[in-house]
């Protein structure tokens, strides 16, 4: 018989938690009320499970709670900080960190359980309300209800702990906030039914879909002095494809890169200067500009703790966007859109992007696997270039070779700008034309670059080659590699998209000048890293793919390797985690975005507001009572 002062056994507590956590949300309220003002709901679950299971690892705790490991890690960090949990190394496996409840935590739990039990049991037996909801809960979870003499209760599971009946799991799923429910599916079908547009109408009304004509040439939507892309030339009145050319403020990208490489200098900082201010800096201007960027490589007080370390995510582009928008709150002149203040904000973001991305990744890596990934923060050094600081901050021992830093610097230069018509730069112009602040503009550009059709191509290239290396036995056999490429085009290989990633470009046809520049340095790095065989495979695919594509498909222009074809391989050789591939792109392109933002503000144009032709049919309004 359970008297008022009796507590549930550990096994009964476990079963109650199983029911509370996995059946339906309204049951949780009485239990959570016992901890109001002390712990959040998820902290309650974490502390209870750590107490019931004894010393456990983060992975075991996550499995018990049915939550991701990184979420369990974050919860234990907070509870440990408040003194409810402590950690110790597993004596049998020193790589494994065990978590247990402190006396303070036990005292809080016992107090909460006792209060909860008083709601369920009175001296004259079980409270009817509590008795009834727990009975229904046990039935739903696949357990059974057992009466105990004197009106008390016990609970027994029909299945082993952690397994639940179908009814209980179905009920749990109904409370999943992220579940795609039948209602959502039905409404989605309505969207498809009423938002689908016949592609032939674009031709009928001469609408340039995607702001490009049928041959893929972009519609001229604006003027810029920042950069120029050449992919064709007029010969005898006809447009003829040519080798690709790229100009930053009128300077050929090949001449620009050859200049600082020949002089054994890092080139990204002077490239930023060129894009923003229209000319290359002299020696004094260059040194002054580097000092200015170094000055801005300082995050606001507690920014890492309060922003970067909170709710870390695997998507570093989201982390970057969130950090950029939060910088607004720390800026006393956030809404000042004057030219000097906007320039200050741009320089600040150019300087801080590497820190925001690298620190965001460190927080995520530690959150996912704290036992194997220590959380460390390396401050940037003022005497280092942007490329050097990225490697310095990312690596726990701060070490890197000169070749590694030079190639990363080159990658930043080649990704820094690519015309005003690319999706993220055009987004910069569109949002800036509304008159909003710089942080909002850059956050929008980040959202654009995050898209797999824009900034995520190098990851696709890497994964495609991983699949190729796993399925092609002889990497030097042209016939076998060719067969794999045909399989890609026929949607039989890799992701079945029908694409050979890294081949072709929206503008370039015969060649991408950035890929041409990159190629030789990629070879050098592959030799240093002992990956020359992989480089030879890339070279073979670069040679074969255009021929395979032209034989299989009707194309209107030439096909060649683009910058993404090699950049993913370079980042892999540099040891950059895949989560940082697109953020490295952003660390470079923030220079171009800033230049386009300044250009939009300086010329003071109108808000960008194109028109959309409506093809919807008119329909009468129907009063609510008369609708079917």
Active site residue 505: yes
Whether 490 is a known active-site residue: answer: no
Using an 8 Å Cβ cutoff, are 308 and 356 in contact? yes
Q: Which of 60, 191, 576, 127 is nearest to 358 (CA)?
A: 576
8 Å CB contact between 595 and 412 = no
Q: Which of 18, 409, 437, 564 is catalytic?
A: 564
CB 424 within 8 A of CB 593: yes
Three-state secondary structure call for residue 205: coil
- Does residue 563 contact residue 400 with C-beta atoms inside 8 Å? no
Rounded to an integer, what distance in angstroms lies between the CA atom of residue 141 and that of residue 165?
A: 5
Q: How far apart are CA 328 and CA 325, in angstroms?
A: 5
C-alpha angle 428-429-433 in degrees, rounded to nearest 5:
115
Which of 611, 521, 604, 617 is CA-nearest to residue 569? 521
Task: Output the six-digit token pair for 417.
Answer: 């700008």
Q: Which of 429, 505, 572, 596 is catalytic?
A: 505
CB 552 within 8 A of CB 491: no
The beta-strand segments (E) located in 205-305 are 227-235, 238-248, 251-252
Any idea how long the chain is? 628
* Residue (of 500, 583, 597) closest to 549 by Cα position: 500
| Residue 269 token pair | 């900082």
What residues does 21 pair with on adjacent strands? Answer: none
Q: What b/e string do you get for 425-437 counting C-beta neighbours within 10 Å, with b at 16 or more?
A: bbbbbbbbbeeeb
Q: Do residues 287 and 328 lie in contact, with contact meaning Cβ atoms separated by under 8 Å?
A: no
What sign does the dihedral 207-211-213-216 (CA atoms) show? negative
Catalytic residues: 505, 564
């Amino acid at each position: 018989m359970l008297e008022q002062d009796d507590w549930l056994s550990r096994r009964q507590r476990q079963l109650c938690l199983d029911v509370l956590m996995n059946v339906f949300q309204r049951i949780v309220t009485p239990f959570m009320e016992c901890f109001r003002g002390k712990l959040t709901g998820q902290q309650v679950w974490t502390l209870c499970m750590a107490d019931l299971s004894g010393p456990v690892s983060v992975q075991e705790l996550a499995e018990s709670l049915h939550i991701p490991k990184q979420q369990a890690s974050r919860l234990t960090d907070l509870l440990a900080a408040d003194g409810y949990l402590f950690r110790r190394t597993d004596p049998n496996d020193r790589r494994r960190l065990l978590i247990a409840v402190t006396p303070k935590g036990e005292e809080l739990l016992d107090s909460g359980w006792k209060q909860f039990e008083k709601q369920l049991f009175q001296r004259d037996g079980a409270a009817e309300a509590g008795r009834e909801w727990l009975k229904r809960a046990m039935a739903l979870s696949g357990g059974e209800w057992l009466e105990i003499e004197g009106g008390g209760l016990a609970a027994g599971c029909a299945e082993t702990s952690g397994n639940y009946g179908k009814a209980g799991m179905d009920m749990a799923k109904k409370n999943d906030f992220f579940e795609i429910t039948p209602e959502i599916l039905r409404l989605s079908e309505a969207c498809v039914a009423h938002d689908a547009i016949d592609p032939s109408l674009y031709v009928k009304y001469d609408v340039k879909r995607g702001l490009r004509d049928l041959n893929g040439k972009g519609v001229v939507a604006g003027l810029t002095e920042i950069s120029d892309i050449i992919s064709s030339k007029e010969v005898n009145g006809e447009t003829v494809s040519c080798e690709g050319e790229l100009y930053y403020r009128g300077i050929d990208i090949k001449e620009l890169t050859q200049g600082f490489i020949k002089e054994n200098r890092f080139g990204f900082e002077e490239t930023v200067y060129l894009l923003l201010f229209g000319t290359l800096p002299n020696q004094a201007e260059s040194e002054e500009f580097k000092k200015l960027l170094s000055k801005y490589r300082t995050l606001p007080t507690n920014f890492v703790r309060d922003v970067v370390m909170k709710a870390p995510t695997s998507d570093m582009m989201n982390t970057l966007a969130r950090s950029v928008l939060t910088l607004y709150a720390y800026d006393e002149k956030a809404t000042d859109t004057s030219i000097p203040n906007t320039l200050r904000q741009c320089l600040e973001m150019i300087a801080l992007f590497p820190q925001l991305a690298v620190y965001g990744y460190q927080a995520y890596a530690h959150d996912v696997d704290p036992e194997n990934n220590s959380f460390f923060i390396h401050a940037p050094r003022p005497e280092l270039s942007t490329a050097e600081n990225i490697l310095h901050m990312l690596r726990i021992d701060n070490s890197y070779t000169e070749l590694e830093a030079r190639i990363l610097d080159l990658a930043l230069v080649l990704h820094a700008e690519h015309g005003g018509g690319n999706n993220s730069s055009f987004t910069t112009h569109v949002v800036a034309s509304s008159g909003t602040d710089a942080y909002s503009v850059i956050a929008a550009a980040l959202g654009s670059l995050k898209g797999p059709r824009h900034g995520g191509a190098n990851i696709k290239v890497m994964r495609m080659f991983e699949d190729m290396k796993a399925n092609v036995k002889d990497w030097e056999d042209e016939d076998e590699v060719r067969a794999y490429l045909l399989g890609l085009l026929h949607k039989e290989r890799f992701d079945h998209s029908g694409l050979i990633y890294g081949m072709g470009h929206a503008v370039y046809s015969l060649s991408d000048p950035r890929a041409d520049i990159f190629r030789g340095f990629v070879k050098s790095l592959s030799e240093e890293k002992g990956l020359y065989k992989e480089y030879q495979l890339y070279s073979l695919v670069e040679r074969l793919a255009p021929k395979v594509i032209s034989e299989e498909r009707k194309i209107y222009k030439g096909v060649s390797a683009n910058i993404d074809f090699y950049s993913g391989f370079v980042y892999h050789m540099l040891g950059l985690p895949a989560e940082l591939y697109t953020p490295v792109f952003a660390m470079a392109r923030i220079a171009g975005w800033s230049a386009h933002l300044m250009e939009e503000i300086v010329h003071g144009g109108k808000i960008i507001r194109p028109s959309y032709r409506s093809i919807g049919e008119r329909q009468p309004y129907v009063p609510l009572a008369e609708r079917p």
